[in-house]
């Protein structure tokens, strides 16, 4: 297998201004499924930082009081303690919109101030398209005297409330605002990657490019004055990234990104970057057996089109999608606006693949819906990606995003042949959790057709149990068939402008927008 058959070349990335290498080799990548696993490991790594070590992080939302483990410490306290021990702490946090819109401007400001009070610095960053967000979620820890311990965490988990859940899906005691249907402690399904090896230096480059952007962090003069008085706008130069850490494993890593095409472009992406979109389109053109996708949204017919074309091209290709049952916004207009894109996307996929397309949502063993926040895709058990990006136009063109694609150097010995270890193990572990399958039976799911049918049987049994009044023992598994969204004509008319201009905007340059290309 040639790496360039699955990974983008430097030219295919479509952004000559970046200094990122196309990919790196010799990495160790471990999936950390759920926030509890990620936060516990992050706590351990933060506690080991000392004088002259480096902590860099970028986040969409940060809650300083979110506990990393049940007994603490909190996110803010752990980072502040690292700064007091002499570590250099720098953060980039999206400033966000107003709190009345259920976003996170106050929390993000408080986290920045807590870090500032101990000598670190966290910039509140709105250097993105109007109405866009910095959606990247990563943490980098580098060690001045022991680079073998360097690690980067990349994925979809924010350092905030509601994320610290585990496979039991009892929810995080510190909840973020969510619709009542998710209960008092919303169950939360998510994933982050722990990366060691040369790719850590590449993640650091991503941070440095954003940090060194000379544009002001905000266009609002009043906010700029407030930041100046609060010492939140003084951005000292970062030390240049050190040499890459030594090889640590058998994984090839490609970092993929989205940056919008702004009027005043980024120095590192003058016309934006859409390598996430480019990578999906390249990989889906090779898909032959199974696309396994977990996604928060699944919107936009332009984004869905390469999935649909793959299903039409390959008569044996199957696609499994796991999404939330209910949107995270439940207002009379926000709810329909969140569903309108998914309705069109599911219609296109089912028209392309028929019964080879299966869409599910999750519930915990108490019957409470699980909010699927994971952003993961595995294609043919060869290529796998985990990141901050969702399958929609906003993530592929408008917000800033960071995703990590992985190719294992090692083939998986289990039949059917042709799989790579990392991608297959990631898919099996996720599917087994949803099926309540013990580890010793993971191998039962190696065959794509068998796995596809196992999901169908489990979801059907649980749905039958629900529709029959929940009589008898609850069947194993957490899967339920996802109902097709239904919107009235009036809801569509009212929600469509909000969907197109706010919920799922298009950040492509005009020429690409007209051609529907990326």
* Structural domains of the chain in order of their starting residue, each with its CATH number: 1-512 (3.30.870.10)
Which of 258, 232, 257 is closest to 93 using CA atoms? 232
Residues contacting residue 419 through CB under 8 Å, at least 6 positions apart: 380, 381, 382, 411, 412, 446
Dihedral of CA atoms 345, 351, 355, 357 in degrees, nearest 10, equals -30
> Can you list the residues of the chain whose pLDDT is less than 50?
97-103
Residues contacting residue 393 through CB under 8 Å, at least 6 positions apart: 299, 300, 302, 303, 504, 505, 506, 507
In this predicted structure, what is the pLDDT of residue 99? 43
pTM: 0.95
Q: What is the mean pLDDT of the chain?
A: 93
* Cα dihedral sign, 232-178-346-374: positive
Which of 451, 306, 295 is closest to 376 using CA atoms? 295
Q: Which residue has the tokens 């992985």?
A: 406
Q: Are 96 and 104 in contact (CB under 8 A)?
A: yes
In this predicted structure, what is the pLDDT of residue 114? 80
In this predicted structure, what is the pLDDT of residue 170? 98
Q: What is the DSSP letter of 148?
A: G
In this predicted structure, what is the pLDDT of residue 103? 47
3-state secondary structure (DSSP) of residue 42: helix
In DSSP terms, which residues pair with 360 in a beta bridge?
322, 481
Q: How many CB atoms lie within 10 A of CB 11?
A: 9
């Amino acid at each position: 297998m040639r790496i360039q058959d699955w990974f983008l070349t430097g030219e295919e990335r479509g952004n000559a201004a970046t200094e990122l290498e196309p990919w790196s080799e010799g990495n160790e990548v471990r999936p950390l499924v759920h926030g509890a696993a990620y936060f516990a490991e992050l706590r351990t790594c933060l506690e080991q930082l000392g004088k002259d070590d480096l902590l860099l992080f970028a986040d969409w939302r940060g809650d300083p009081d979110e506990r990393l483990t049940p007994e603490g410490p909190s996110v803010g306290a752990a980072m502040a303690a690292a700064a007091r021990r002499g570590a250099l702490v720098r953060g980039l946090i999206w400033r966000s919109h107003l709190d009345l819109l259920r976003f996170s401007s106050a929390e993000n400001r408080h986290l920045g101030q807590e870090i500032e009070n101990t000598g670190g610095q966290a910039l509140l960053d709105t250097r993105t398209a109007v109405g866009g967000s910095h959606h990247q979620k990563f943490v980098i820890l580098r060690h001045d005297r022991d680079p073998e311990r360097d690690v980067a965490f990349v994925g979809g988990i924010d350092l905030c409330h509601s994320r610290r859940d585990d496979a039991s899906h009892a929810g995080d005691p510190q909840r973020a605002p969510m619709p009542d249907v998710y209960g008092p402690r919303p169950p939360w399904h998510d994933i982050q990657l722990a990366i060691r090896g040369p790719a850590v230096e590449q993640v650091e480059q991503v941070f440095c490019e954003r940090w060194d952007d000379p544009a002001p962090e905000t266009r609002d003069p009043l906010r700029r004055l407030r930041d100046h008085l609060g010492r939140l706008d003084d951005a000292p130069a970062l030390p240049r990234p050190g040499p890459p850490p030594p090889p640590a494993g058998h994984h090839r890593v490609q970092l993929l990104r989205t940056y919008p095409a702004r009027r005043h472009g980024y120095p590192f992406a003058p016309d934006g970057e859409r390598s996430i979109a480019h990578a999906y389109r390249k990989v889906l053109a090779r898909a032959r057996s199974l696309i396994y996708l977990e996604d928060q949204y699944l919107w936009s017919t332009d984004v869905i089109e390469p999935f649909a074309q793959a299903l039409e091209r390959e008569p044996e290709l199957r696609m499994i999608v796991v999404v939330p049952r209910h949107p995270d916004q439940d207002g009379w207009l926000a709810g329909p606006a969140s569903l309108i894109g998914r309705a069109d996307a599911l219609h296109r996929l089912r028209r392309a693949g028929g019964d080879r397309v299966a869409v599910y949502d999750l519930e915990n063993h108490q019957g409470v819906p699980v909010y699927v926040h994971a952003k993961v895709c595995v294609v043919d058990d060869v290529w796998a990606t985990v990141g901050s990006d969702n399958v929609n136009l906003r993530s592929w063109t408008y917000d800033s995003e960071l995703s990590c694609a992985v190719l294992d150097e090692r083939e998986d010995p289990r039949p059917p042949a042709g799989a790579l270890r990392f991608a297959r193990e990631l898919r099996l572990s996720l599917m087994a959790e949803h099926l309540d399958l013990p580890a010793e039976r993971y191998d039962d799911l190696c065959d794509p057709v068998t796995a596809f049918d196992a999901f169908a049987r489990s979801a059907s049994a649980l749905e039958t149990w629900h529709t029959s009044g929940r009589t008898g023992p609850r069947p194993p598994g957490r899967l339920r068939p996802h109902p097709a969204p239904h919107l009235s004509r009036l809801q569509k008319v009212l929600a469509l402008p909000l969907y197109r201009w706010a919920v799922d905007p298009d950040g492509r340059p005009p020429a690409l927008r007209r051609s529907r290309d990326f």
